[in-house]
Structure 1
Amino acid sequence: MKEIDAKGLACPKPVVLAKKAITSNQEVLIIVDNQTAASNLTKLGKKMGAEVSVVEESETEFRVMFKKTKSTDSENADSESETSGAKIYLIPSDTMGDGERELGQILIKGFISTIKELDPLPEKIIFLNSGVKLATKEDIIFYLKELEEQGVEILLCGTCVDYYELQEEVGVGDISNMFEIADNLNRGDVVTI
């Protein structure tokens, strides 16, 4: 079994280390020091088709165990090919444009409320920096939930959510990590809003 101490490492380093280790080892134990990192590792394990469990949890340490299954490599290859070329919207701000803030807030709400009318819909919407604040606003959450129901994946930068201390306020989407975000942007047709 491979053991990796990733305590104190910033996102996405624990995920990157885990991905490399899972690829070349049958069992991997990753130790991290926060819940967000443990959640990101769990998500990675599921995406890669590995059995994953948090085997120990305390205030300062989370031990996440990965066990490779026979289908791990083939499922990972299938999931990677699925996202290739997909339309992805990247929203790095809680406003649209560089003009007056109030106008930018009106524009971003109008844009998000209009996405559901598009054909085809984007596969994913990724929120970074102050863009994650949009997942806490009731008048925006309504539209984002509609998009999720129609199959659009909503991803929020976990580092950004933590930075703005919005963990308890997020009302829609999945908390992600920079590795997953970079991987999606690398595979898709990205439109930055």
Structure 2
Amino acid sequence: MKNKVILVTTDQFGKGDAELGKVVMENFFTLLKQREELPHAIFFMNHGVNLLTESSLVSVHLKELAEKDVSLLACKTCVDFYKIEQKMTTGVISGMSDFVELASQYEIITIA
């Protein structure tokens, strides 16, 4: 995982029932944070930026990943669109140019 960047574009894992998707997303990050080898970064865009807010159960797990030196980057355009900057509990606001740079250096795993 250390040579990978996870791109998160939604607040739920998979298509189908939204509540189930949110539970599966929480399970994913619960298991990810327990791994010895972690991704280099996680980039959040579109509706995925909402995972970094106080209203998301996933934000607790993301804080733990940040404490383990995983970069959590939020798309500025998306944060501005959803007006959530003041609600973010973790992560750093970043630009698409940062994601393009990451994509040139690391394998991207997309959760859409």
Runs of 4 or more, structure 1, over 3 Å off, are none
Per-residue deviation, 1:172: 0.3
Matched, 1:140 2:58: yes
Q: For the residues of structure 2 that align with 1:149 and 1:113, how far apart are their CA atoms?
A: 14
Matched, 1:149 2:67: yes
Q: For the residues of structure 2 that align with 1:113 and 1:156, how far apart are their CA atoms?
A: 20
Greater Cα radius of gyration, structure 1 or 2: 1
TM superposition score normalised by structure 1: 0.54
- CA RMSD in angstroms comes to 1.3
TM superposition score normalised by structure 2: 0.91
Amino acid at match of 1:178: M
State the Cα deviation string for residues 37-89 of structure 1 (Å, max 9, x = none): xxxxxxxxxxxxxxxxxxxxxxxxxxxxxxxxxxxxxxxxxxxxxxxx82111
Aligned to 2:3: 86
Aligned to 1:114: 31
Residue 178 (structure 1) aligned to one of 76, 96, 102? 96
Residue 129 (structure 1) aligned to one of 46, 53, 56? 46
Per-residue deviation, 1:138: 4.8
Residue 85 (structure 2) aligned to one of 125, 145, 167? 167
Q: Which structure 2 segments of 5+ residues have no match?
A: none
Amino acid at match of 2:84: L
Tell me the percent identity: 35
C-alpha contact (below 8 Å) 2:4/2:108 kept by paired residues: yes
